[in-house]
Chains A and B, each alone.
Chain A
Amino acid sequence: MLERHILSTRIERPDPSEEAAGARARLAGKFPRNSLRRMTHLGLLTGAALDGVAVDAEDAVVYATTYAETRALEDFLASFPAASPLLFQSSIHPSAVQQVLIGRQQPIRRFWPVTGRRRLVESALLAALMEPAPRVVFTGGEERGGWLLKREMAADLTFAFGIVLTTGPDGAVGSIRFQPGGTGPDGPCPTLLAFAEAVSGRTPLRWRGAGGEWSVAWR
């Protein structure tokens, strides 16, 4: 069985009407000024979800998102034929975490940027549970799209979460387990938003996938 204990959780779910500029003003105190002006909505919320989480060089970071920096992508496309270098950088996966950690000037050894949709949460949790690092920071989120949302190519909600996972149970508020084995087809894997909401509400989760049984339990 693979298991990690949940040491802390933090969810950012701003008012649905919030745009990047509003988040920038709301969260200004959390970021260096020279980083702040370049940060995307998702980058800002990811940073807020990791506020107070001291990421160490030996920690591993797992990052999950289906759509990533949708607004930067839209704006970069709109900048052609004079393509914007800043928007190009910001639109590249996994920019959100890089915005935060570059702001902190915090190197890390292993960084697992996971994407996908149907089994995104499962993939990210596998990466986290297989990590040898004693401490894993699991973060993820989405930002609400503009024209891409109208084409069903972007998230319709902006949110981010940050979870610290440890190998030891001291001070843990919950645990994530994967028990390989058993038979039967894969069940539906929680969406990234459903996972974030379960973490927020400390709601237990169970499903089958990746050849085993998954559970998220709370104390």
Chain B
Amino acid sequence: MSPIADALPTGIQACGCLTPFGETEATVAALLDGRRALQLRPVLGQDGGDRVPLALMDSNDMAEALPPRWLPALRTLAASIPRDAWGSPRCPVVVTSSNFGVGSLYAYLRSHDAGHLRHGAPFACVEMLQDEFGWGGQVHVFSHACVSAHVGLMHASRLLQAGLADRVLVFTFDFVSPFVAGGFHSLKILNSELPAPYSARETGSIGLGDGAAFAVLTCEAAPFRIEAQALHNEMHHFTGNRADGSGFAACAEAIAAVADGRRVWVKGHGTGTLEAGRLEAETYAKVLPGAPLVSWKGSLGHTLGSCGLVELALTIEAMRLGRAPGTIGSVTPCFTETVALAPFATAGFDGAVVASNAFGGAHASLLLSHA
């Protein structure tokens, strides 16, 4: 398979995110300070269980309230979206998530309160958001585990390139619940250790975090642009990657070809698992020699399907500030010398690569630049 990226130059008119640290600016400030949002909490929330690293937007250990705990947070995020005729044919909305409101099904089984079922299925959750935010009927919904946001961004770029839309709102979110924390804990990658992305240590571990983000994409001039996007699906194993790293290479080489001649840094996926972290670090060190590689999941945790857009918003803010946060929680030795543990200046760079991976050996990356 030849490594080809989709050259879909797309302006980012507005972009923002919400994490346990707050909105975009507050989150980047916390990351630059080297702070961790992750705390050891019971994996099943109020039902207890092992204590695992979770970064939550509230202190109630994933309590399933009605309305669901993610709705007030999404209202906060939505308040910062520029007003437009969202959901109309010329201004469609693309919603992405890995979990949507599925955690509510766990809450329903605990409480038998049918109110939790109202947003338990993806469509019900999205229709709730349509009503809540006054979006029209043109809402496209994608769910591809932890590359969901990237898939949504690429679909939005396609709508713009095809002349089918003037602006597209991409809206993404994933909130941790006992459902998802229990699932990752069963895979043994969510354990009692805090994640240390790209660190060569004995045991790998991830953290999970709440995250939500939006981007308004346009064909018009904008301060930041997505120059190209690439996707690749290994279809080798549900939770593992091809050992030769060919899956990582397929996506990274495609983006590196577009970035040829430019000096970029890489916001990697870097959850804290060992094998995937090593393959990712080695791949980017090879295809983009010398490009600093960072992951912020050692602080924010893995925000699942939203991570691609949450971390794109943080990357844009870092470029705006001129300083990128380092790989929080990690220590030497790392898998490659390119892993940046400390913050660094972005002034000498022409852009950044934003990469994410997912179950099924799914890979996604994009090239971000100043317009």
Taking Cβ atoms with an 8 Å cutoff, the residues of A that contact B are 2, 57-58, 66-67, 73, 76-77, 80-85, 88-89, 91-94, 98, 101-102, 104-120, 123, 126-127, 130, 132, 148, 151, 153, 180, 186, 209-212
Contacts and interface: CB of A to CB of B under 8 A. Distances in A.
B232 A118 contact: no
Contact of A80 (B44, B120, B144): B44
Contacts of B155: 112, 127, 130
A77 B106 contact: yes
Contacts of A119: 137-140
Contacts of B90: 211
Given A81-B47, A119-B137, A101 B235 contact: yes
Contact of A67 (B121, B126, B162): B121
Interface stretch (B182-190, B210-218, B325-333, B349-357): B182-190
B234 interface: yes
A105 B144 contact: no
Interface string B18-56: 000000000000000000000000001001010000000
B68 interface: no
Most buried by A among B4, B114, B238, B361: B238
A123 B47 contact: no
Contacts of A101: 233, 235
Contacts of B247: 107
A207 to B, nearest CB: 12
Nearest to B146: A92
Contacts of A120: 123, 141
A80 B106 CA distance: 9
B34 to A, nearest CB: 32
Nearest to A56: B1
Contacts of A67: 121
Contacts, number: 169
Contact of B362 (A2, A84, A85, A111): A111
B92 to A, nearest CB: 7
A41 to B, nearest CB: 17
Nearest to B247: A107
Contact of B182 (A81, A123, A180): A81
A25 to B, nearest CB: 23
Nearest to B184: A88
Contacts of B343: none
A105 B247 CA distance: 12
B359 A92 contact: yes
Interface string B333-363: 0000000000000000000000000011110
A110 B239 CA distance: 18
Nearest to A111: B233
Contacts of B92: 210
Contacts of A76: 179, 183
Contacts of A110: 154, 231, 233
B105 interface: yes
B138 A151 contact: no
A153 B164 contact: no
A115 B105 CA distance: 18
A187 to B, nearest CB: 11
Given A80-B44, A107-B234, A113 B163 contact: no
Interface string B119-140: 0111110110000000001111
B105 A73 contact: yes
A141 B362 CA distance: 22
B228 interface: no
Nearest to A80: B182
**What are the 9 tightest A-B residue pairs by CB atom distance, in nearest-first order?**
A211-B89, A88-B183, A117-B123, A116-B141, A83-B182, A101-B235, A85-B186, A83-B186, A93-B143
B137 A118 contact: yes
9 contacts: A73-B105, A83-B185, A89-B238, A89-B359, A106-B235, A107-B361, A111-B231, A123-B140, A210-B89
A113 B235 contact: no
Given A88-B186, A117-B123, A186-B137, A77 B151 contact: no
A21 B142 CA distance: 29
Contacts of B320: none
A109 B313 CA distance: 25
Interface in B66-95: 89-90, 92
Given A88-B187, A112-B155, A102 B235 contact: yes
Nearest to A108: B233
B127 A117 contact: yes
B354 to A, nearest CB: 18
A211 B49 CA distance: 50
A180 B362 contact: no
B98 interface: yes
Contacts of A115: 122-123, 141-143
A211 B164 contact: yes
Contacts of B370: none
Contacts of A186: 89, 137-138
Interface string B215-236: 0000000000000000111111
B257 interface: no
B204 to A, nearest CB: 15
B258 interface: no
Nearest to A211: B89
A92 B137 contact: no
A84 B185 CA distance: 10
B181 to A, nearest CB: 9
